[in-house]
Structure 1
Amino acid sequence: MPKEPKHIAEAQKQRIRIKQKSANYVPGKVTLQVLGTGAQGAPRSVYMFSDQNRYLFNCGEGTQRLAHEHKTKLAKLEHIFVTQAVWRNIGGLPGTALTIQDVGVPQITLHGPEGLKDIFPATKRFVVLRDLKISMAECNENTVFEDSVMTVKYVLLKKGEMAKSVQVGIEKCEVGTSTNNPRRRRKRSLSQTQALIESDDTDYYAHERKRSKKPYKRRQSRSRSPTFNESGKRTSNGHESLQALTLPPTDLREASASVCFICRLQPRPGALDLDKCVRKGVPAGPLLGKLKNGEDVILEDGTQVKSSDVREPDDAGPVFIVVDCPDEEYLASLINNEELKKHQKFAKIDEDMAHVVVHFTPIKIMEHTEYRKWMDNFSPSTEHILVNEHNSCMGSVAVHRIQHKLNLLSMEIFPLLGDQGSPVLETIDGRQCKKFKTEIDLQNLKLDNASALLETDNNTWRQIGSLASYHLRPKKGFDSSSSVRLDLDEFVNETTSLTDFPAALKELQESLSLAKSNLTISDYPRIIFLGTGSCIPNKTRNTSGILLQISDSKNILLDCGEGTCGQILRFFGSTKGDQILTNIDAIYISHLHADHHIGLIGLLQGRRQALDRLDIDKEPLYLFAPKQILAWLNFYDKCFESIMDEFILIPNSDLLLDQTTFKKKEEVLNSLGLSNMNTCLVKHCPNAFGVALQDKIGYKITYSGDTMPSDNLIELGQNSHVLIHEATMEDELATEAVYKMHSTTSQAIEVGRLMQARHVILTHFSQRYAKLPRFNDNFADNVCIAFDNMQVRVEELPLIPLFYPALKIMFAEHYEELEHKAVKRQLKSERQASLERKVVKNT
């Protein structure tokens, strides 16, 4: 849970004191570290750390989760460099900002395209930054950023006409990000920006898209989908009507520049070699200090000792470059840039040659002949690090660790993940080696002690994993020894070696075998939990996301926290994941807290990319959400990238039980494979809804979203087959649950009993319950605990409670810690009550 403001204030003071102490010297250690590799479904982010400060280059969706898992300290992060204001680079900014605010960072400076900072006022309704100041550096060819660690020059790549020679043989860049035509705006006044982000005050309804005779294609013109008013009559256009009310008359969409960064570390004097000083007869004392500062000295016997004779060579400051050429329209600007040429083979002095180039450029552009020629103009000693979809490592070890453990209990309910891009440790001839497991058999994948290299024609490009590093100072070059790896044997042995686990597992298998013999299990509906945690993601529980598979071709997503698209690709693998994404025909958003919808843009883009990769034409999906979400989505569409053509908004309020105002409801439900769908208002925040869906077979599934116990929800979900209910707090934290308007486990179970639900699945756990929540006497045989990457068919739900004895043993250490904390809370409560009784008695 977020810290109280008084803790943040103290952390900020401590941070300022540390910064003041370190500001006067040039750090001796500086390292670039890949945090998110840019693999499909993974963020793109490179972390730079020194003795003093931390810097982040791009901040894709899911960055904060990887930072949390790998203990990447964000307390010293003050500068974030963004190459292009598109979701693949900025999707993680809101969540990361909340995290660094929590650890006491007082201010963050953004470096990148103009307008980048607008992302924060646009998200102010659901990302509250009271204790963190956001500033924007002026980034153009005439400005330079400088601190005690490095200087940074900005290089702006702009779209332009390509010469015929450049266009020869080019294959149109794959629509891998829905950002080939990024949409940006001219400089806006504060009032114009405010008009966009305040637009949820308008009276706006966008019910459904009237189906056209031709299949929907994204590459059609930007004409908006038709909408209908409450009587079912066609209006001019819902999106356009909102524009008229909220947008200034000028066209705010304009192709953006892509900002590249030329970074040079500050020069550092060579270190004093004490052995050489001793050999020269230099005594301990002030003479050493003079030599260290570059002064020559005279000894008592008249011998002159030159500073250059007892110091290591001075470090002029290595140069590294961060490049992002989004598509072929930027190639000419990249190739002809004179500032970049100064650090290629055309450099006048060796110190100006780039040591390493970090490429955020898409692989399709890197394969372009002109881009390769540009790369060849660097010195042969220059290293090239690719942070794009060429990589396959998604960066997390923790999700595989817990899934391999749970897989011991049931291979069907807890299947091994389709993400096989992380290197797996294997033992060959008595030594451990890394091996990449991928869905594609890469026959030219070479293994050595340092890294895996993937040969592509004349270029050899390194396929990297998260935490791969390049040591700039001291100069050690590329280092993959710290890259994440999966030790599958270790994951399993950690559990099987527990004293009581083998017996518990055997008993579970016998119980499952007996229980299954009495069940008839249909393939659908199937529920896949993509995120079961609250507030912020942690190593083992992502924020809210549930994939409801109505059939093999119809999927509905219930809530969409940060990283939901990546969770789908990790669970299914890239090939099957694309099929799943294309079959998502509806997304339901329960309310507008960030942990329930901040992943929506990434999911819309991911679906579009999958449709393009599979060459499928399909209608936009239906977005069931509070209508106020349109302010955020419309703002993003107008100022950053086009997304409004990817969905049709149907306000949750139009599906209220017994108050449905949506005239086209039956047509929409038929297209989703549903016979009914209704919502209700619940007790959490304004415009928070619960939902009940019923498929054509008759299964009724109710989802609470976030709420305190709600009579509306009980009425809505009467006689449900499944109630999926939040259980953020344990029972002893009922007071905190009321304060934050959440439910305890017993309250959620009681709601299920009152609505006569056959099964209750608890989810949305506080991150204090990272592995397992606390059980209590109310856990009946119809109560299930959800885990990330758990898939269950409705008829399988009676099996889940059978796992609990084995789960308690599997996570015994974690569970004992929960019990210990509960005892401490109880003792503290008793002491407080005793003191209050004494005060009352004395008065």
Structure 2
Amino acid sequence: MFHFPYCNYCRTLFALPLRFYSTRKNSNLEQILISMPKDPKHISEAQKQRKKIKEKLAKYVPGRVTLQVLGTGAPGAPRSLYVFSDQSRYLFNCGEGTQRLAHEHKMKLSKLEHIFVTQPLWRNIGGLPGVALTIQDVGVPQITLHGPQGLEEIFTATRRFVIIRDLQIDVADTNGTNIFEDSVMAVQYVPLLRYIEDDMQDGVSDLPTIGESIEENSDNHKSVQMGSHEMSEASTSTRSRRSRRRSRSRQRSPRHNSAQDFEDDDTDYYAHERKRHRSRDRRRSRSRSSSANRPASPIKKLSDISRKLQETKEEGISMAYICRLKPRPGALCLEKCVQYGVPAGPLLGKLKSGNDVLLEDGTLVRSVDVCEPNDPGPIFIVIDCPSEDYIDSLLNNDRFRKHQAQATCDEDVAYLVVHFTPKNVMENPRYQYWMEQFTPSTFHLAMNDLNTCMGSISVHRIQYKLNLLSNRIFPLLGDRGTECIQEENISEGNSSIKRMKVENGVNSVNNEGKTPPLITADSLEKLSVKSVPPSPTPSSVISPFTFFNMHLRPRKGIDRSGEIKLTPEQYIEECMAADGFSEALNELQNKLLKEYKNITIAPYPKIIFLGTGSCIPNKTRNTSGILLQINEYLNVLLDCGEGTYGQIVRFFGKEKADVIVANTRAVYISHLHADHHIGLIGFLQGRKRALCNIKTDENPIFLLAPRQIIPWLTFYDKCFENINTDYEIVPNNELLFEDHRLSPSIENRLLSTLNMSTITTCFVRHCPNAFGVSFQLSSGKKITYSGDTMPSNNLIKIGMNSDLLIHEATMEDELAEEAVFKMHSTTSQAISIGEEMQAKFIMLTHFSQRYAKLPRFNENITSNVGIAFDNMQVCLDELPLLHHFYPILRMMFAEHCEELENKAVKRQLRMERKRDASRNRSNSPEKVRELSPQQTTSKNA
């Protein structure tokens, strides 16, 4: 029996059975749906098409090149610089959260071919897995990574939970004299080494500087780098003391780093999904098996690649990039050609090619008179100086001197320097001295914690709308770093636009509130004096917002007109413009007012939903993350998808987020799919910074997770960054309700730290090593979390009589078959589990990203069922109030709900066509002739 879609806001259309649309002879809807394309292009076809386009465009030097800020590097935000031209795209650094920003702002990643990374640290590579999956899905055939040695092994380490099948990942050789070059630009690799003062006093101060080791090249576009052997020798010889300190630090780790911890995890966590794909298309599966990135194919063990990466980690090389655009001839000015009397035809082509022409009347027309000046190609430099130990590499490097004030010609002067360098290093007098060696015309762009913009508009847009319903449950976000435009009514009845003050931003707005499209180098000084607050950094440093543009060609200059801005009144007006919304809002407010008078709300425990979407983040729902606030000073994090730390900063604001993160004493990971744990490293590093900022003793956090997470974390610790002392592992299988193995001493310390009486886990029906968990607080409250699972009897057992069940509801009820294939639950299934365990309240979360704003649900959403949103906070006593929100939520997201209903109609029609086609085939004359008389009689019977 099929579910008939029903729409409360448009009853006349969707109250009819679906069969009405499929049987009505003159149904325009049916014809539209039937004529729609059924299958998207195959990835391989998209890849072939892109290769053809690339080969065609590679013959020409692009006429448009722009640097665009995607992630500003603000606390909690990724740092990523996007460079795009008419032909291709380049990304400099790819921090965690880059994928989500690219999705929200519709960045065309289909042309992305090269990613340049300064250092293989999480702040630079945390977004690589997500971006790789995205560009794979849009048909990009291959991607090239540029950076220190071993950078590509991040994909080897994450191969079990980040599945790359159709994307070839190449690695550029950045050693020796190699230079990357294509039709857009040439890039020199400049390694920066760290020199430690204590080690130099030990007898290594006579090492040659980098500048002394560089050999000059006659070509101004290409300079020879220091050899790889020399780099390694200079780096490791200065690190013996620091290496010993790190070794001692690891010995103090609360975890055990045995050889067993570093063994490969051979579990296939996506086997259930791949089985479905293989059954659909075995030929495609066989072609994929040749890919080196496919997990099923022979790959290197983690232990085999650890040595190379450990050497890279010890050397600590930070790669700088000197980029010069390819020279481009000046464009032909047709107006000048007309003035000189040049006729249309081949003479124009000769002039454009730089040749002078003689007209029929004897007039000599010179190419320089009718063409714009040639563009030799501006230079921009990308710098990441991680600490003060690297400043000597900058000061002593002749590569940079060639593009500073000592440059032999104007063409070699750097037009822009992009600083991924942290704020505290940029404030160092020696670093500022190095910056001052550039000419006054050189721009400096800061991509670091000097900035405040976190990059998202959609998150604020939906929060302003939900805040209309309840400022307790949907508070306005603590992130105040993005420029906000508000209307201010004045006494005369007119309105003017004002901009809220933002720290550390170069304001490009004039007195009328208009944004000039371009800021030239000549006007920057005047602008900076008026707009930039006092700062120890040079006044020429620009602090950008997301979508800040620096045009390099054809016209050079700053363009701030596209920077993101918030317009709260516009978001509110979008809601209030809906028919009947204002009345419905007043009715809701009156109901809530009465309800709050009749109940007493305990402030804790409190649940804050940081991510309520599945699979990949989108602009309104991040991947899984839930903050359980047990009391004012104690928090537990349930799952940690990509960008979870950024969600905390966005919700609380930077200062309060430090306190929240520092007071988080445990992280629970339900299973090892990337959308549930890939943000863990970023969270651990954010917590370390928070502890340092508030000057609190550093205590390792409890990590309740599948034991199989250990190889990944140990590998990252050994080969990328030290994180081993930041957590203490408590395997989930040692907390099983039927097989409790955790030692009493650890369990007592765990429970007392978390103010709980019991913590119980169980295996659930999802991927291997997937767990559900139930927390019994010391106050007596019981909270159960399903993680990802199909309906599970084990979860019912451990969650009996819960005060709150947080259960995944990935699919709507009509997609029950798809839910089985992906081993998820539907809305009704999740509710049924809560009813069987007699939970007082059921909170649904982990929705498919097709339900970006509101999931599609039936009338079984009762008063004890809630729908989770990102940045939603609720106390247990407030849960019964949530059912009052559903009618107005349908009204608020009416367009989205209508789209879901239309898709349901289309899906139902498609199913009916398949059934009809199947019946026609079984009853066809050819089929009947093949049957014997006895078989025909049996079939008719």
Q: TM over 0.5: same fold? A: yes
**Deviation of residue 186 (structure 1)?**
11
Does the 8 Å CA contact 2:385/2:425 hold for their aligned counterparts?
yes
Measured after TM superposition, the shift of residue 519 of structure 1 is: 1.9
Equivalents in 2 of 1:223, 1:414: separation in Å? 45
Q: CA deviation at 1:479?
A: 1.3
Correspondent of 2:711 among 618, 631, 634: 631
Q: Would you say 1:453 and 2:518 are equivalent positions?
A: no
1:790 pairs, out of 872, 881, 891, with 872
Aligned to 1:223: 251
Amino acid at match of 2:905: V
- Over 3 Å counting, the alpha-carbon distance change for 1:321 and 1:666 in structure 2 is same
1:768–1:491 CA distance, 2 compared to 1 (3 A):
same
SS of corresponding position for 1:628: helix
CA distance in 2, matches of 1:599, 1:444: 31
Q: Distance in 2 between matches of 1:402 and 1:535?
A: 21
Task: Return the alpha-carbon distance in structure 1 between the equivalents of residues 829 and 629 of structure 2.
Answer: 28
Q: Which moved more, 1:290-299 or 1:585-594?
A: 290-299
Q: In 2, are the aligned partners of 1:418 and 1:573 still within 8 Å (CA)?
A: yes
| 3-state SS of paired residue (1:138) | coil
Task: Name 1:214's counterpart in structure 2.
Answer: none
Q: Secondary structure at the match of 1:418?
A: coil
Unaligned ranges ≥5, structure 2 = 1-37, 202-227, 231-244, 265-301, 489-493, 517-526, 928-941
Q: Distance in 1 between matches of 2:693 and 2:507?
A: 24
Residue 435 (1) aligns with residue 454 (2): no
1:668 deviates by 1.1
- Structure 2: how far apart are the matches of 1:80 and 1:540? 26
Q: Which whole-Å CA distance do the structure 1 matches of 2:699 and 2:195 have between them?
A: 33
Partner of 2:634: 554
On the 8 A contact 1:422/1:436 being kept in 2, the answer is no
- What is the deviation of 1:59? 0.3
Q: Which amino acid aligns with 1:16?
A: K
Which amino acid in the other structure matches residue 629 of structure 2? Q
Is the CA contact 1:453–1:462 (under 8 Å) kept in the aligned structure 2? no
Query: 1:700 & 1:540 partners in 2: Cα distance?
Result: 29
Q: 1:841 to 1:545 in 2, by over 3 A?
A: same
Following TM superposition, by how much is the alpha carbon of 1:224 offset from its aligned partner in structure 2, in angstroms? 3.7
Aligned pairs for 1:379-528 (under 5 A) are 379-427=439-487, 430-437=495-502, 448=510, 449=515, 453-457=532-536, 459-460=538-539, 461-528=541-608
Query: Which residue, out of 365, 375, 378, partners 1:305?
Result: 365
The percentage of aligned residue pairs carrying the same residue is 58
Which of these residues, 129, 133, 145, is aligned with residue 180 of structure 2? 145
Alignment partner of 1:124 is 2:159: yes
Shift of the 813–135 alpha-carbon distance from structure 1 to 2, 3 Å rule, reads: same
Distance 1:717 1:504, change over 3 A: same
Greater displacement, 26-35 / 655-664: 655-664
Give 1:491 deviation, angstroms: 1.1
Conserved? CA contact 2:506–2:543, under 8 Å: no
Change (3 A) 1:331 1:458: closer
Question: How do residues 47-86 of structure 1 correspond to structure 2 at under 5 angstroms?
Answer: 47-86=82-121
Q: Deviations over 1:813-841 (max 9, x none)?
A: 11111111111111111122122122222
Give 1:837's aligned amino acid: R
Q: Return closer, same or farther for 1:431/1:560 CA change in 2, 3 Å cut-off.
A: same
Q: Does 1:257 align with 2:317?
A: yes
Structure 1 stretch 70-79 or stretch 833-842: which is displaced more? 833-842
Q: TM-score, normalised by structure 2?
A: 0.80
Q: CA deviation at 1:625?
A: 0.5
Whole-Å Cα distance in 2 between the matches of residues 445 and 646 of structure 1? 40
Aligned to 2:3: none
1:293 is the counterpart of 2:353: yes
Pair 1:651–1:716, CA change in 2 (3 A)? same
2:776 matched to 1:694? yes
Shift of 1:305: 1.6
| Contact 1:446 1:453 (C-alpha < 8 Å) held by counterparts | no
For residues 72-221 of structure 1, the aligned pairs below 5 Å read 72-140=107-175, 142-162=177-197, 221=249
- The alpha-carbon deviation at position 244 of structure 1 amounts to 9.6
Q: Which moved more, 1:763-772 or 1:710-719?
A: 710-719
Question: What's the CA shift string for 1:429-486, capped at 9, x where partnerless?
Answer: 8553433346xxx899896546853431472132221000100001331111110000
Q: Distance in 2 between matches of 1:538 and 1:426?
A: 26
C-alpha separation between the residues in 1 aligned to 2:413 and 2:182? 21
Relative distance call for 1:695 and 1:816 in structure 2 (3 A) is same
CA shift in 2, pair 1:14/1:431, >3 Å:
farther
> For 2:797 and 2:41, how far apart are their aligned partners in 1?
42
The answer (yes or no) to whether the contact 2:464–2:572 under 8 Å persists in 1 is: yes
TM-score (norm 1): 0.90
Out of 53, 56, 60, the residue aligned to residue 18 of structure 1 is: 53
Higher fraction of helix: 2
| Alignment deviations for residues 154-190 of structure 1 (CA, whole Å, 9 cap, x no partner) | 1100011459999xxxxxxxxxxxxxxxxxx999xxx
Residue 282 of structure 2 is matched in structure 1 by: none
Query: Contact between 1:141 and 1:155, CA under 8 Å: does it hold in 2?
Result: no
CA distance in 1, matches of 2:859, 2:330: 67
Deviations 1:532-551 (A, max 9, x none): 00010000000000000111
Aligned in 2, Cα 1:592/1:485: closer, same or farther, shift over 3 Å? same
1:701-720 equivalences under 5 Å are 701-720=783-802
Instruction: Compute the displacement of 1:14 (Å).
Output: 1.8
Contact 1:445 1:455 survives alignment (8 Å): no
- SS state at 2:909 partner: helix
Alpha carbons 2:262, 2:711 under 8 Å: kept: no
**Conserved? CA contact 1:37–1:393, under 8 Å:** yes
Q: CA deviation at 1:521?
A: 1.2
Structure-2 residue corresponding to 1:43: 78
Q: Establish whether residue 619 from structure 1 lines up as the match of residue 647 from structure 2.
A: no
Confirm or deny: 8 A CA contact 1:588 1:624 kept in the other structure. yes
CA offset at residue 221 of structure 1?
Answer: 2.8
> For 1:622 and 1:163, how far apart are their aligned partners in 2?
35
**What CA distance in whole angstroms lies between the structure 2 residues aligned with 1:817 and 1:116?**
43
CA distance in 2, matches of 1:218, 1:444: 41
Q: Distance in 1 between matches of 2:380 and 2:826?
A: 51
Amino acid at match of 1:354: A
Q: Is the 8 A contact 1:151 1:265 kept in 2?
A: yes
Alignment pair present for 1:8 and 2:87 = no
SS in 2 for 1:354: coil
Shift of 1:304: 2.0
Compared with structure 1, are the counterparts of its residues 818 and 145 closer, same or farther at alpha carbon in structure 2 (3 Å cutoff)? same
Tell whether the 8 Å contact from 2:427 to 2:537 is kept in structure 1 after alignment.
no
SS of the equivalent of 2:451 reads coil
Aligned position for 2:616: 536
Question: C-alpha distance in 2, partners of 1:350/1:397?
Answer: 40
- Counterparts of 2:84 and 2:502, CA distance in 1: 30
In structure 2, the CA distance between the partners of 1:241 and 1:8, relative to structure 1 (3 Å rule), is: closer
Match among 646, 649, 652 for residue 566 of structure 1: 646
SS in 1 for 2:850: helix
Query: What is the one-letter code of the residue matched to 1:616?
Result: T
